Structure 1
């Protein structure tokens, strides 16, 4: 789907995930949880799924380090 819309992927050098470990962890989980992008019929569906997943990730998904969703953590510590 990326080729179809002339989008290029940006990534660290091969075999160097330690360059940005926390971001690598986020994207690894994000890609796994979002699933195969080829299952979507249009770019609009991909964008909607990404927006919904980011909302879920920030507001409902329990994060291991925080032991709660980031939005709840932010509310408790603001």
Structure 2
């Protein structure tokens, strides 16, 4: 499973527009928590405590805010594809 640095490098090479969107979402999360841009949506079942935000129609940012830091679980595809 790729780590954040690997995913950042992947988006840097494949689509910088998506990388900029991910960074904007992360900044918004740091400022506003679980409110703001990207249609924040709490996840259920095995992802209790995690939230989803739309990067594009195909990709979602899955994250959790814990101990004043944002922990990214995924930022590619839609809900673990």
TM (normalized to structure 2)?
0.30
Larger RCO (CA under 8 A, 6+ residues apart): 2
Per residue, is there more strand in 1 or in 2? 2
TM-score normalised by structure 1 residue count: 0.31
Larger CA Rg, structure 1 vs 2: 1
